[in-house]
């Protein structure tokens, strides 16, 4: 058998094994794995921070929108007051002769077939030229959503309409509701 000639110095088998293990360690991508793990953790932290910032921004936006709506309502009320101060207040608080008819029509629009009225005494102050014209609407076996639609329509249709009292009683076939409404007007 012949010996195989090697170029360079001859290494002992233990040294060869140590060199092979060192080369194997150098070939492992542990640095790449460590770097990618660090990047993954950093991106997770950034994602969590971004989500928290987005939530905070959404809450702030919602609060700002509510504030804007409140400011707009107050601005409209102020404009009405300014307009009222320049107008004749007897025209502004003129009686509404179609009070009952309008409420009945709006009830039909809201899907309420029957609506009964009672007339409680109007509220007056002795020294005031104004009174609160009151009317009590009585609903029997009505859906709550239809009643709320009627009330919304009434407040949109009739200026200065206020809810003075409300009694809700649940029933088997719907709600029994008594709603006392009023609006300021000039005494007759």
pLDDT digits (tens, 9 = 90+) for 159-172: 889 999 999 999 88
The pTM score is 0.52
| Closest listed residue to residue 101, CA positions, set 137, 54, 53 | 137
Residue 46 has pLDDT above 80, yes or no: yes
Residue 8 has pLDDT above 60, yes or no: no
3-state secondary structure of 176: strand
Domain residue extents for the chain? 13-86, 92-186
The answer to whether residues 103 and 115 touch, using CB atoms and an 8 Å cutoff, is: yes
Please state whether beta strands 175-186 and 162-170 pair in parallel, antiparallel, or not at all (unpaired): antiparallel
CATH 3.30.70.60 fits 92-186, yes or no: yes
Query: How many angstroms separate the CA atoms of 112 and 104, rounded?
Result: 9
Taking the C-alpha atoms of 154, 155, 160 and 162 in order, what is their torsion angle to the nearest 10 degrees? 90
Confidence of residue 110 (pLDDT cuts 50, 70, 90): very high
């Amino acid at each position: 058998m012949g010996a195989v000639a090697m170029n360079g110095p001859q290494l002992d088998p233990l040294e060869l094994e140590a060199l092979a293990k060192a080369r194997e360690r150098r070939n492992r991508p542990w640095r790449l794995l460590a770097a990618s793990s660090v990047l993954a953790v950093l991106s997770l932290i950034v994602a969590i921070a971004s989500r928290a910032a987005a939530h905070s921004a959404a809450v702030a936006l919602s609060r700002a929108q509510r504030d804007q709506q409140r400011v707009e309502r107050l601005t409209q009320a102020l404009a009405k007051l300014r307009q009222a101060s320049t107008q004749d207040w007897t025209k502004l608080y003129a009686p509404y002769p179609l009070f009952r008819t309008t409420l009945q029509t709006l009830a039909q629009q809201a899907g309420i077939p029957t609506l009964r009225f009672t007339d409680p005494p109007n509220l007056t102050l002795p020294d005031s030229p104004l009174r609160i014209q009151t009317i009590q609407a009585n609903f029997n076996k009505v859906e709550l959503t239809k009643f709320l639609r009627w009330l919304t329509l009434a407040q949109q249709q009739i200026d200065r309409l206020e809810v003075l009292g409300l009694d809700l009683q649940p029933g088997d076939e719907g709600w029994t509701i008594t709603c006392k409404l009023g609006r300021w007007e000039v005494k007759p």
